[in-house]
């Protein structure tokens, strides 16, 4: 019977750890820019642009939405 209690406490600790990691990742901005990585495939430039920047003459996600 004591093994079940130990397993329940361990599973609760693991669950809370993953919940804390998820909350930390959302607060630190890991999920803010979901459009740019998908649009980066469509850019026809050999140089990889920085996040939020587009190669010269190419449309950025901000100009596409306008």
**Same domain for 60 and 39:** yes
- Name the residue range of residue 1's domain: 1-32
**Same domain for 52 and 23:** no
pLDDT for residue 19:
98
Number of domains in the chain: 2
**Same domain for 26 and 3:** yes
pLDDT per residue, tens digit, the chain (66 aa), is: 899 999 999 999 999 999 999 999 999 988 887 777 777 777 766 665 566 665 565 555 555 554
pLDDT for residue 22:
96
**Same domain for 38 and 64:** yes
**Same domain for 28 and 40:** no
Closest CA to 38 of 56, 51, 25, 55: 51
SS (H, E, C) the chain: CHHHHHHHHHHHHHHHHHHHHHHHHHHCCCCCCCCHHHHHCCCCCCCCCCCCCCCCCCCCHHHHHC
pLDDT for residue 42:
77
């Amino acid at each position: 019977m004591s093994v079940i209690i130990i397993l329940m406490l361990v599973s609760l600790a693991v669950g809370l750890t993953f919940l804390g990691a998820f909350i930390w990742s959302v607060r630190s901005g890991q999920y803010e820019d979901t459009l740019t990585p998908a649009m980066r495939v469509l850019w026809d430039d050999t140089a990889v642009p920085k996040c939020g920047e587009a190669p010269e003459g190419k449309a950025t996600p901000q100009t596409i939405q306008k």
